[in-house]
Amino acid sequence: MRGIRNLKYQKYYRLRILGSLVLASCSERRTVIGVSQCSDDPWRQKVNREIKIGQYQNKNVDVRFCSADNDAKRQVQQIDSLVESDVDLLIVAPSDAHTVTPAVERAYKKGIPVILYDRKIDSDCYTAYVGADNVEIGRVVARFIAAKLGGKGKALEIAGLKGSTPVEERHQGFMDEMKHHPGIATSTVNGDWNVAGARKIMSRCLANDPNIQCVFGHNDAEALGAWEAAKAVGMERDIMFVGIDGLPGERQGIDLVKKGCFAASYIYPTHGEILVTLAMHILNKEPFSRVNYLPSSLVTAENAAIVEMQNNEIMSQANSLDAIYANIDSYMKMYRSQKIISCLAAFIVLLLIVLAAYNYYVYQTKAKVGRRLRQIADEKVRFFTKASHQLRTPLTLVAGPLRQLISQGGFDDKQQQTLDIIQRNVDELEHLTASVLNFQTRVDSATDNTDQRQQPSLSDETVSQLVLQDSRRDIVTKNDPDDDLDTILIVDDNADIRSYLRSLLSASYYVIEASDGRNGLRLARESVPGLIVSDVMMPIMNGLEFCSKIKADDVTCHIPVILLTARSAESQRIEGYEHGADGYITKPFSADLLLTRIESMLANRRKIKLAQLDVKGEASGATDTNSADNLFISRFREAAMQHLSDTDLKMDDLGSELHLSRVQLYRKIKALTGKSPTDIIREMRLNRGHHLLCHTDRPISEIAYEVGFAVPSYFTTCFKKQYGINPTELRRG
């Protein structure tokens, strides 16, 4: 059978590999480009739109965008994530050169080409750079400001976040040019690329020096923030503002120049579409330039209208391209789907051919396996036949003297019961050996083409019969048991073992029985015995599962369990204790050992009550108590306290609240405390009454009613029995 299973697994994996190859041949290899932007400002949104245009211009290219929102650590995580997703190339605009450099180096050293866009890193580990010449931008802006100020005045430079290479390079170019104009006093502060941050900076600077004549913002947002701060104090017309980006749109650089808010804005070129072209040159091993500077110029009042018109035209064309390429994407998806369907059809035809050939191969192999199985079965039969012949001699020597001994008579009931058990098991052994011999003769008369699987298994058949017989012999002696006797539950699928154990225990304990774990669990919940003795190997529910369920049930978790089994290995003992067993005794066992172990466990239960009630009615559980039992006592006490004044309180009602029957509640409380639930509630009522007598001046009869005594005189009687003094004398004292 193992050979057949191996054939099935081989068949599955071969078909899976074949299918993968066919699908791989049907699908087109797509190039994946990952784009990690340092932020999501309007300038970078424009870049992303242009990258999408570049994607449309190249076949089978997918682009994945992510933005770090000026958080360098977040950008490092995003770059690592893109690398793990197996992108073919990375385009990175670093937020902070120092922080982002290690992530770019990791990608580059893994063989992934990296294009730095707009900004650089503190390393030479990149494939190409695309961006403006930020040093030259700084110089151009400085020359423009110097010309407007006539070589004299005060200029404030609001730079971007520290650590960004454009910030350092723009500042370098700006200061290099300003050295040629000593008449212009220049100061520099770092902003955060945002309007709000620049507004606060400008407000502080104006408060310290209201004579600022020009502001150079490293982007249009910072220049706009400075303009708003100046406007707030009525100085927006006295100061010249210059920004960088030169984007179209409301409140962007070109618009602000047109409206006269800015003197100029340097168009910081985007040209995102050339990034995809450069990426494809790199991936296709074609020639490319490692450093690529983008040309640009200033937008001033003289050319702002023309630049805006050109940008609007470009945006209109870009929108049209988006619509066109969206339709193209839809058509390409349909084409790919149809291609996959065609490939799948070819695969199905090929699969049918392979299956036909494979089924013929499996048929031949099964025939070989069947012949081998029949050979093995014959060898087993011969082995058991030989063993049965060898067993007949010792069985004869046992069965003969035993029958002779029984025929003599003169035994008491217990002795006769023991002899009957021996006789039944000897008969069973004789029956088994005879069955094995008879089984050989069934096999010999079978035809060669008989399916071996139709022959009954001797061991399975015998076990099934024994389980069926014993399942009909569940015995529950019908806790009326003497309350002074502890109840022992025996759980074993062998009726003779149960009978033998009952003969050992019945003199000192009230014994109930079950033939499997499922019935044992039911009896344990119904009768709540003082201790359980259980076999391990049983049908329906084995002893380990039975023990686990006993220990997990609120009703039975306190009951000690002794596992009585032939499993004697140390690992098997450990397994028994792991399932909650309190004791583990192996067969063959000593009757004295079992009796002593049971008495010891029950004695310990009597000595260590898991939750005793003190004079105030509070639970005072010992340090070694079971937490589940302590919780149960607490729940019982809380439920009782809620009904303490109820003179008609019934144990059925209290048990219902605790999801137990009256009998289960009685036996559980009795086992844990040594007292009945009624006794405990009476003590709680008397303790409450004692407290009220000592701390209030209410009438005794009213107190009696409040603590649940319908008759005040009975309260007085119980009170005196409990405390040795009646309520009236207590108050006088």
Select the more confidently predicted residue: 532 or 374: 532
pLDDT > 90? residue 513: yes
* pLDDT attached to residue 194: 93
Q: Report the chain's terminal Cα–Cα distance, integer Å.
A: 90
Structure token digits, residue 624: 């070694």
pLDDT > 70? residue 227: yes
Which of 118-127, 195-204, 300-309, 574-583: highest mean pLDDT? 195-204
Tally of residues, the chain? 733
- The whole-number average pLDDT for the span 567-584 is 84
CA distance readout (Å), 490 to 338, 497, 515, 733: 70, 9, 8, 56
Contact 490, 511 (CB under 8 A): yes
pLDDT > 80? residue 400: no
* pLDDT attached to residue 321: 60
Nearest alpha-carbon partner for 482 in 463, 500, 507: 507
* pLDDT attached to residue 460: 37
Contact 279, 256 (CB under 8 A): no
Contact 160, 176 (CB under 8 A): no
CA distance readout (Å), 369 to 5, 364, 458, 603, 695: 11, 9, 22, 61, 90
H/E segment holding residue 693: helix 677-695
Least confident of 311-320, 331-340, 368-377, 494-503: 311-320
Task: Report residue 715's pLDDT band, with 50, 70 and 90 as the boundaries.
Answer: confident
Q: What percent of the chain has pLDDT over 70?
A: 81
Least confident of 6-10, 139-143, 522-526, 574-578: 6-10
Task: Report residue 568's pLDDT band, with 50, 70 and 90 as the boundaries.
Answer: low
Q: How far apart are CA 181 and CA 141, in angstroms?
A: 13
Task: Report residue 23's pLDDT band, with 50, 70 and 90 as the boundaries.
Answer: very low
* pLDDT attached to residue 451: 38
* pLDDT attached to residue 638: 86
Three-state DSSP class for residue 474: coil
Q: Which residue type, as a one-letter code, is found at position 10?
A: Q
* pLDDT attached to residue 224: 96
H helix intervals, 239-303: 253-258, 273-283
Least confident of 180-194, 581-595, 676-690: 581-595
pLDDT digits 0-9 by tens, 685-710: 899 889 888 888 889 888 888 888 88
Nearest alpha-carbon partner for 191 in 177, 204, 175: 204
Q: What percent of the chain has pLDDT over 90?
A: 36
- The whole-number average pLDDT for the span 483-512 is 88
Task: Report residue 483's pLDDT band, with 50, 70 and 90 as the boundaries.
Answer: low
- The whole-number average pLDDT for the span 322-346 is 75
β-strand 264-267 against 298-300: which pairing, if any? antiparallel
pLDDT > 50? residue 214: yes
Select the more confidently predicted residue: 239 or 341: 239
* pLDDT attached to residue 476: 37
pTM over 0.85: no
pLDDT digits 0-9 by tens, 408-453: 888 888 888 888 888 888 788 777 766 665 555 485 444 444 333 3
Task: Kindly report the average pLDDT of the chain as a whole number.
Answer: 81
* pLDDT attached to residue 438: 59
